Amino acid sequence: MNIYDIAKRSGFSIATVSRVLNGSPNVSPKTRGKILDVIRREDYTPNVFARGLGLNTMRMVGILCTDVSDTYYAKAVSLVENCLRQKGFDALLCCTGSGVDRKKKYLDVLLAKRVDAVLLIGSAFQEDTDNSHIASAAQQVPVMIINGLVELPNTYCVLCDEGTAAYENISLLCDMGCRRILYLYDVLTYSGCVKIEGYKKALTDWKITPDPLLMLRVPKSIEGAKAAVEKLLSNAVEFDAVMASEDLLAVGALKALTAREMRVPVIGFNNSVIAEACTPSLTSVDNRLETLCPTAVDLLVRLLSGEEIPKKVMVPAQLVERDTLHIAT
């Protein structure tokens, strides 16, 4: 069943059927009615490939993230997909893992599918050495980055001010009397660097000399973080608070502390389910995906319809206080 069949059965030309299909005003109500009747009767759906061929778009946006099984990315993908669908776009999902080569490859895969735009989730897509893959993608379609910062033509960023959040966390902890604050992180993506800078700056402002022992890089897992913190404790490295770049790491630290019946303030990042799930529940920085994602999609859609949009939108983070902040002494 194609547009020719509908034309034949309704007694009009394919041009008129096409007009009805696309809601053109230049069709008499009677004609429209007759044609719609046939369309419904035959349960006809236009062929998107043919339409795509003509219009050179299938209204699809490619979503690239390293790993949807990560709760943080999952949440972002969920939000983004919903927003896109509301705007009549489909989401082509692509999870790359961490290798740069696969990122490049899959970026090409998406472009080959002629997506209307690419949405990068997370700063993991920004390599400080080389962003040429993003640059070349942006030559074909707009690239929108959620929580990453890449300044290139046709590339737009919507991100959360995690640097300031980190700074304020440390200030808060210092204000509470903490002086030796352990910082756990996993990777030095853009987001990772920004947080560490916030950490350092706050210490400097509080006239605390950063202790290299207290800036600890650990594997991105509860067990990895737990083991690292346990080792620290065994080595009698002292600290009176913990901040972690990721809830997962914070939970690991928490487990190590709980095992020794130690209680110090702990702050995580991402405000994921596990922050609520762990005991004591974890104070965490919410990086406002609920705001970032709709904003990113909204801007992208406006861009695609010809509007000008800002190259960069920054949103403040929000600390969600739970049990691990104010410790009963």
Partner DNA sequence: TTGAAAGCGGTACCAT
Partner DNA sequence: ATGGTACCGCTTTCAA
The entry of DNA, a copy of itself, none near residue 305 (CB within 5 to 8 angstroms by kind) is: none
Nearby residues of 308 by Cβ (< 8 Å), 6 or more positions away: none
The one among 2, 13, 22, 47 contacting a copy of itself by CB under 8 A = 47
Nearest to 243 by CA among 186, 169, 163, 321: 169
Tokens of 119: 């949405």
* Stretch of 72-80, 155-163, 174-182, 190-198 contacting a copy of itself, by CB under 8 A: 72-80
Query: Is residue 160 packed enough to be buried (19+ CB in 10 Å), middle (13-18) or exposed (0-12)?
Result: buried
**Taken in order 146, 76, 190, 211, is the CA torsion positive or negative?**
positive
State yes or no: residue 16 binds DNA (CB under 7 A): yes
State yes or no: residue 94 binds a copy of itself (CB under 8 A): yes
State yes or no: residue 305 binds DNA (CB under 7 A): no
Count of CB atoms situated within 10 Å of the CB of 22: 10
State yes or no: residue 255 binds DNA (CB under 7 A): no
Please, where are the H alpha helices in the chain? 3-10, 14-21, 29-42, 48-55, 71-86, 100-112, 132-140, 162-175, 190-205, 222-234, 247-259, 273-277, 289-304
State yes or no: residue 28 binds DNA (CB under 7 A): yes
Classified as helix, coil or strand, 254 is: helix
Least distance to a copy of itself from the beta carbon of 74, Å?
4
CA-CA distance, 185 to 268, in Å (whole number)? 10
Least distance to a copy of itself from the beta carbon of 202, Å?
27
CA-CA distance, 35 to 28, in Å (whole number)? 11
β-pair partners for 313: 158
The entry of a copy of itself, DNA, none near residue 258 (CB within 5 to 8 angstroms by kind) is: a copy of itself
* Stretch of 28-36, 64-72, 219-227, 294-302 contacting DNA, by CB under 7 A: 28-36
Polymer length of the chain: 329
Distance (Å) of CA 54 to CA 58, 74, 110: 10, 34, 19
DSSP state of 113: T
The entry of DNA, a copy of itself, none near residue 206 (CB within 5 to 8 angstroms by kind) is: none
The one among 8, 9, 18, 91 contacting DNA by CB under 7 A = 18
Classified as helix, coil or strand, 114 is: coil
Of residues 58 and 187, the one with the C-beta less far from DNA: 58
Classified as helix, coil or strand, 155 is: strand
State yes or no: residue 85 binds a copy of itself (CB under 8 A): yes
The entry of a copy of itself, DNA, none near residue 3 (CB within 5 to 8 angstroms by kind) is: DNA
* Stretch of 31-39, 194-202, 251-259, 306-314 contacting a copy of itself, by CB under 8 A: 251-259
Number of residues located near a copy of itself, criterion CB under 8 A = 48
The entry of a copy of itself, DNA, none near residue 30 (CB within 5 to 8 angstroms by kind) is: DNA
The entry of a copy of itself, DNA, none near residue 209 (CB within 5 to 8 angstroms by kind) is: none
* Stretch of 19-27, 133-141, 232-240, 302-310 contacting DNA, by CB under 7 A: 19-27
Least distance to a copy of itself from the beta carbon of 289, Å?
9
**Positions in the binding site for DNA (CB under 7 A):** 2-4, 11-16, 18-19, 21-22, 25-28, 30-32, 44, 46-47, 49-51, 53-56
